[in-house]
Structure formats: C-alpha cells, structure tokens
C-alpha cells in the first residue's frame, strides 16, 4: 500500500493543501481563500477531502495531516496561542479536525514548518542542525538541533525577529513593544520603511520621484546596483544587521547552516556578501568556520512540505 501525507499551509489570505509522497514530492495541491469565521475548520476539512479525491488515493493510504499555522502552538491542547488568525482563537483545532477528517492531525507553527521543510528537502538537507530566518513583513524563524525542531518550554522558541541588535537610545520600536528588534531593521518591509523615512527627511535618491507608498525592495536593489547612495546605505544596513544575527546564532548554537528565505533573497549575491562580511567580523573562529550561510531552496512550498514532513515524523515515531 502506498503512503501519503497531506500538508496544509494556513495563511491569512489563502490556505493551501497538498498530497505529499513520503519522499516529500507534492503530487497535487490546491488553494482556497481563508475564511474569517469560525467555520474555518470545515473549510480546512473540505480542502483536505478535495485534494485526496483529486489525487484519487484511499483514506487509509493517508498516514497523517500536517498543518502549518501562523502563531505559537499549544501542543498540549492542540490549539493556536495568540493566533495571527483571530478565527482560530480558542479553537481546539486538532480535536475538531481529527473528528471532521478522521485523520491524525499534526499542528505546527508556520515558520517552524518551513524550517523543517528546508531541513528535510531543501538547503538544510544532509545536516543535523540549522537556523532559518524568513524575511518578509517581519522576520520569522526556526531552529533545528540534532534533527529536532527546538520549540521551547512554552513552544515559542525560534522568534528570531525579536533578537535585539540595537540597544541605543534611538533604537527602532518593534510591534512587540520592545526597541531594537532585528525585524524592525532587516525584514523586507522594514528595509523599505527605513529607505522611505530617509526620503521623507529630504535625502536625495534616484527613487525620489516615485510614489513613496509603492517603493519596494526590488526598486531599492535596482537603485543599489546603480550606486544610489541612499539605496546602498539602506541595503548595507539590512545586510549588516543580518550578519549580526548570524554571528550571534553561530556563537550561541554552533549550527551547521543558517538559511535565509523570503523574496528579498532573490538578490542573494548582493545580500549574502553583506551578511558574510559582517558575520566574519563578529563570529568566533570555530563556529564561524563551520556555519554555512545559504539561501532557501523550496520557496513557497517550504511550509506545505514541512508541515507534511512534521506529520510524517510523528507517524514514524508512533510506529
């Protein structure tokens, strides 16, 4: 009998589900808009049933369902703590979905799921310990140590975005309420924001004539390549901050790899050089020589593949 896992990546806008082979190949996937009401669990159940039907597999060939969700997971109660999706608040989502679908449900934080995906089949394959950071609106992260996700006693480990990189009086204010968190400097959105703030202060740039609300990291990197001084300064700062993060993680954990994902890594040649320059200035010799700094490989599928991988691991452990 063939075995399959269903991976689900639950986002604020869309939920995606896929039938995944035990070797991590996505055989079929489908996406639906995420509903805002509490019947979100029915919607997830329908999507799981649809992908199973579309791939024409039998229910008893499915060994489990892995779901990646934004927010820290309460693994004891099978729910999401302080969810970014308020419609999940207080829902015993694992229990509900196990009842609806009849499958074993494995819930995981989405950043952890993506990290596990890269560990299983992406840039982190063939290693036992890694740190991953996803650069987007904020900075999400995950840590794998000795082949296991590091979750922490309250399941909140891996919040790389809130590592402090600036304790100065003028440190930037983070959404978490603290000042100086790296995500207020080096996420894609923060990079754009720092650039626009300088324009608003009157700095000149080749992007000065653009609508400030429309300036993205793509534009800033193009200006960087033209030698635009504000763009160079802004991107250099992003790279420098990420280099500080890498050196701190290398000194703390001595991992084999540090992996970056997110659209901003499309400019990996530029970004990686800046990161590595700062990293080399700060890191201790032995962990610095060991740790490779790499770009993620699975792109948008990391979360779905990783959620499925976590469910497969749970299934294999239970056998």
Minimum CB distance to Zn ion, residue 137 (Å): 13
Sole window of 49-57, 66-74, 170-178, 248-256 interacting with Zn ion (rule: CB under 5 A) = 170-178
CB of 174 to Zn ion, least distance (A): 3
Please name which of 135, 109, 110, 164 lies closest in space to residue 259, comparing C-alpha atoms: 135
10 Å CB burial of residue 37 (0-12, 13-18, 19+) is: exposed
Supply 107's token pair: 């819930």
Residue 174 is a binding residue for Zn ion (CB under 5 A)? yes
Phi/psi at 102 (5° precision) = 80, 0
The single residue among 113, 143, 181, 230 that binds Zn ion, judged by CB under 5 A, is: 181
Q: Residue 27 or residue 178: which is nearer to Zn ion going by CB? A: 178
Q: Which of 54, 176, 284, 286 binds Zn ion (CB under 5 A)?
A: 176
Q: Shortest gap between Cβ of 159 and Zn ion (angstroms)?
A: 8
Contact between 29 and Zn ion (CB under 5 A)? no
Q: Which is nearer to Zn ion, 27 or 176 (CB)?
A: 176
Residue 151 or 162: the one with the smaller Cβ distance to Zn ion is: 162
Given 29, 151, 162, 172, the residue binding Zn ion (CB under 5 A) = 162
Those residues with Cβ within 8 angstroms of residue 198's Cβ, 6 or more apart along the chain or in another chain: 205, 230, 233, 234
Tokens of 301: 């599928």
Specify the DSSP class assigned to residue 62.
E
> Cβ of 236: how many Cβ atoms within 10 Å?
15
- CB of 79 or CB of 187, closer to Zn ion: 187
Residue 5, interface with Zn ion (CB under 5 A)?
A: no
At residue 149, what are phi and psi to the nearest 5 degrees? -65, 135
Six token digits for residue 88: 């999940």
Which residues here bind Zn ion, judged by CB under 5 A?
Answer: 162, 174, 176, 178, 181
């Amino acid at each position: 009998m063939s075995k399959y896992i269903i991976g689900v990546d639950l986002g604020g806008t869309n939920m995606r589900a896929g039938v995944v082979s035990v070797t991590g190949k996505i055989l079929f996937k489908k996406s639906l808009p995420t509903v805002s009401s509490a019947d979100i669990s029915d919607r997830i159940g329908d999507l799981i049933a649809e992908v199973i039907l579309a791939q024409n597999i039998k229910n008893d060939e499915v060994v489990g369902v892995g779901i990646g969700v934004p927010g820290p997971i309460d693994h004891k109660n099978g729910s999401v703590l302080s969810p970014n999706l308020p419609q999940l608040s207080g829902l015993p989502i694992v229990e509900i979905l196990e009842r609806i679908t009849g499958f074993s449900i494995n819930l995981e934080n989405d950043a952890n799921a993506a990290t596990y995906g890269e560990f299983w089949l992406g840039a982190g394959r063939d290693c036992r310990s890694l740190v991953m950071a996803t650069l987007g609106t904020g900075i999400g992260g995950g840590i794998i140590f000795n082949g296991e996700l590091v979750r922490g006693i309250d399941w909140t480990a891996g919040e790389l975005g809130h590592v402090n990189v600036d304790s100065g009086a003028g440190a930037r204010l983070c959404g978490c309420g603290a000042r100086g968190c790296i995500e207020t400097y080096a996420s894609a959105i923060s990079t754009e924001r720092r650039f626009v703030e300088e324009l608003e202060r009157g700095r000149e740039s080749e992007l000065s004539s653009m609508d400030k609300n429309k300036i993205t990291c793509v534009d800033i990197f193009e200006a960087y390549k033209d030698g635009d001084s504000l763009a160079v300064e802004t991107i250099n700062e992003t790279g420098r901050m990420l280099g500080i993060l890498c050196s701190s993680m290398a000194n703390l954990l001595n991992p084999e790899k540090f992996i970056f994902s997110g659209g901003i890594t499309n400019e990996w040649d530029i970004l990686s050089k800046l990161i590595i320059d700062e990293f080399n200035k700060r890191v201790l010799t032995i962990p610095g020589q060991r740790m490779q700094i790499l770009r993620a490989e699975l792109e948008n599928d990391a979360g779905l593949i990783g959620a499925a991988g976590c469910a497969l691991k749970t299934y294999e452990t239970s056998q």
